A = this chain, B = another copy of it.
Amino acid sequence: MTTILLCDDHVVVRAGLLALLGSEPDIEVLGEAGSGEEAVALAAKLGPDVVLMDLQLGAGIDGVEATRRITALPNPPHVLVLTTYDTDADITRAINAGATGYLLKAERPEDLFAAIHSAAQGHTTLSPPVANRVMAQMRGTRPTLTERELDILGQLARGLGNREIARALFISEATVKTHLGRIYDKLGVDTRAGAVSVAKEQRLLPS
């Protein structure tokens, strides 16, 4: 028997997961959360084996932050990310935040069940497209940006200036420029517009 906590801001998705998981005899859904904050609170209170976590959560903290907080709990559950996108940035951020697995919503139900049971035992499961991207990254095909550089890139794509990026990330403008220089270097460009373009094409950023 594996106990589960659901976290997704969409009612239909939660209902879908409930319906799917309800048909599995050895899976029990302890509760559901519509926001990251709620998920953290319920994870602490209910103590499930696995948390199924969406990354896009609308208002409040996002799935990555929720994952970070949940895995920081005493005796934490395993977090299985279940989302729509296989963007590099999302994948690395989720894994760095402590996620045990990364599944796409398009996955077949049987694979979802299998992944949940694997996750309950701490085993990592990645959807095939995700696994491919991770592999490609291993082979050094594409430039590997650090966590922080991806943060900068994200703000950059919002069209923010250096000062605004600095304020958004609580660092100095000088540091932003340092990171930007390295990003340009890794992406082989020398302007912000070029960086955004390459990042979108390499799927380093959601699009």
Please list the residues of chain A having a beta carbon within 8 angstroms of any beta carbon in chain B: 9-20, 56, 58, 82, 84, 105-109, 112, 156-161, 189-198, 200-201, 207
Q: Contacts A11-B106, A11-B109 given: A158-B194 contact, CB under 8 Å?
A: yes
Complex CA–CA separation, A56 to B105 (angstroms): 12
Q: Can you give 16 A-B contacts (C-beta < 8 A)?
A: A9-B106, A12-B17, A12-B82, A12-B105, A12-B109, A12-B112, A14-B16, A16-B18, A16-B19, A18-B19, A58-B106, A159-B189, A159-B197, A192-B193, A193-B195, A200-B200
Inter-chain contact B159/A191, CB cutoff 8 Å: yes
Number of copies of chain A assembled together: 2
Residues of B within 8 A of A160 (CB): 191, 194
Complex CA–CA separation, A174 to B16 (angstroms): 48
Residue of B nearest to A59 (CB): B106
Complex CA–CA separation, A201 to B199 (angstroms): 12
Inter-chain contact B157/A193, CB cutoff 8 Å: yes
